[in-house]
Structure 1
């Protein structure tokens, strides 16, 4: 690895370390998601409100429900008490709403805190809603107050919303106003002579009661922990019948009621989260520097040796050691005749004067030397008992004959 590559790797590692150090030292970012989940401790969770419910009511007085209201209310006709819904938006649907209204009319209380309500519910109660922007009110926050003389001692302030919903039309004969927005005045010519925005109201429904609030943030951690806002939320709890159970809905929530992914545990812990990020960065670096295609080492394969000469020598030595000089001479003669046929292009079927003249001419040998060689070959063919000297003499004559061949010198 070159020095330049090492320098860049060290520089990158230093940059990553600096980023991790800065991220670790900076304050944790606040999560402003409006979850309204009872186990969330984020600003817009309802962990503190749930804790206060558990403290004020008996253990059997608070029933947390994870199932839809239609499914739960269909289980038994003996369910009675207060059904509490808190979320930024709740839409039941026609069948479920009718089930809830029928249950409420039997002497129960339906409490819904939501920024928006479905049209069927508003039409049933003869209500209409509108919104007020943060830029329309006095100051930079919304001021809320309960109307009851024993509960309106101090004004609650909320500054983390861009707008607030309110009821701008009500059934004046059947509606009781519980809470209003104080730092905004509606035009005096408004319908039903409503001059102050209504945020919480109550209506009888059959033998029961419906309470609607357009300000669900009143039940969140952020609102309750800013004094004197807790008095406002405590005042709303006074409308709950303590002698009957309170059914707290956990089904209609923007936030999850439980975490389905194990990644939540990993990413919710700062140390584990950065360990996970560093691991991913390490994988990326591995892919960049080590993931390149590498050529596998090619083994050196030695070429096969041409062992023809060794084989020939071995066979020759075998014949020679065993004294088979005649057989060696015959092989030598046959090999020489094959040489004449392939290199000098002469037929060796008939050995006569014309053949010897042509062979001498083509091989660059004299006629006398050529005749002497073939006379020696003829004599050796007739003698089956050869000695070493005769065999060496034959080999010398053949090699001398070949050495004068111009064709051989070119090859």
Structure 2
């Protein structure tokens, strides 16, 4: 009786502990999602909901493009004097797609790409190279960004300290490139830092190409922090707001829509914990009720493999009948099938290449393979085969197999 009371005490203690854990987990402050999605509908730090609102309010004609640029430009041949914007952690075009974009740019359009990485073909075309700028060792680090144009408050420096590295253009085509923005490593206590170009503009045909290696400048976190919106506004001032602006929604790290129905449960705190409680309840039910009511599982003996017995019976029938020639032909046919299935060689043509390939795969010399197939050839042309010849054939095949498998 005392043992039973102790069990009840431990069960109650375990349930209270479990309830306390659930309470603490439920009331725990939800962590921010720092995934770099760059999706216009996302309100997370690295989404672009704020930028999308700016486009809708400040620019007259904007349109989100949800298809690949190749498909979009080919289906809209009349797009001219407009801007095509790409913002993502990494933007990489196919060769045909890049050629289509560059051809479209030469007609007087503007191609604007904000990405940490660019494909080599685009950089080679514009005679550019990129390189990483790393923060100093330690946890405290920050990068300072500024706009070069004096009309855009070039003396103001905008800091960002959520990354340990940033990209910049290490090589420029100085005759055709205009530097718009620069970045410097502001870690440490020094006041003078070496600046590196990270936003550039190039004339390309009748149009322009603007590249920036700092796509985070267009995210919710950067725009809303301190006065960083002035920096983003300065970059957007290079766009013609009187002409159509097409914003890419295809090359994005995150998803605009979540196809999985579980996203609704797992993204809502109350539904998520209700789902977890159902799973835990089901597990407890199976653990206790299943053990009590589970029936004994009958033992079902597996079917025996009768292949060997069947083969032995057929062989004895051939042998008793004295048809040794058929036995020899079957053994040769089975051996050729063995070569096809184990060494993956075609046995329809027996030639010098076949002998060399088979020898290389079976640890044999080429002349040994030829001697074996010479036995096959001699038996095929004989009208009658003796027991001695049949035994010799079987011995040769078994020896081949043993050596082929390293025995």
TM > 0.5:
yes
Residues 123-165 of structure 1: CA deviation (Å, up to 9, x unaligned): 0000000001122799611110000101124211111111000
Distance 1:154 1:94, change over 3 A: same
- Aligned-partner Cα distance in 1 for 2:35–2:92: 20
5+ long unaligned stretches in structure 1: 186-194, 297-411
RMSD (Å) for aligned C-alpha atoms: 2.2
Residue 118 of structure 1 pairs with residue 137 of structure 2: no
The equivalent position to 1:53 in structure 2, one of 52, 55, 67, is 55
Q: How far 1:266 sits from its partner (Å)?
A: 1.1
1:24, 1:137 → 2: CA distance? 35
**Matching of residue 35 in structure 1 with residue 37 in structure 2:** yes
Counterpart in 2 of 1:330? none
Contact 2:141 2:164 in 1 (8 A): no
Q: CA deviation at 1:295?
A: 6.4
Give me the whole-angstrom Cα distance separating, in 2, the residues matched to 1:199 and 1:137. Answer: 24
**Equivalence for 1:258:** 257
Indicate conservation of the 8 Å contact 1:136/1:184, yes or no: no
1:162 alignment counterpart: 164
Matched ranges for 1:229-240 at <5 A = 229-240=228-239
What does residue 79 of structure 1 align with? Answer: 79
> In structure 2, what is the equivalent of residue 102 of structure 1?
103
CA contact (8 A) 2:135 2:185 kept: no
Instruction: Give me the whole-angstrom Cα distance separating, in 2, the residues matched to 1:164 and 1:117.
Output: 13
What is the distance in 2 between the residues matched to 1:101 and 1:260? 34
Rounded to whole Å, the distance in 2 between the matches of 1:295 and 1:110 is: 68
Distance 1:138 1:265, change over 3 A: closer
Report the structure number with the largest CA radius of gyration: 1
Q: Which runs of 5+ in 2 are unaligned?
A: 188-193, 296-407
Q: For residues 341-395 of structure 1, what are the alpha-carbon distances to aligned partners after superposition, in whole Å with 9 as ceiling and x for unaligned?
A: xxxxxxxxxxxxxxxxxxxxxxxxxxxxxxxxxxxxxxxxxxxxxxxxxxxxxxx
TM-score between the two structures when normalised by the length of structure 1 = 0.66
Partners of 2:195 and 2:156 in 1: how far apart?
17
Q: Counterpart in 2 of 1:365?
A: none
- 8 Å CA contact 1:138–1:184 kept in 2: the answer is no
* Contact 1:39 1:257 (8 Å CA) reproduced: yes
2:211 & 2:294 partners in 1: Cα distance? 73
Q: Which moved more, 1:99-108 or 1:134-143?
A: 134-143
Q: Is the 8 A contact 1:154 1:228 kept in 2?
A: no
3-state secondary structure, aligned to 1:150: helix
Question: Secondary structure of 2:111's partner?
Answer: strand
- Separation in structure 2 between the aligned mates of residue 120 and residue 293 of structure 1, nearest angstrom: 68
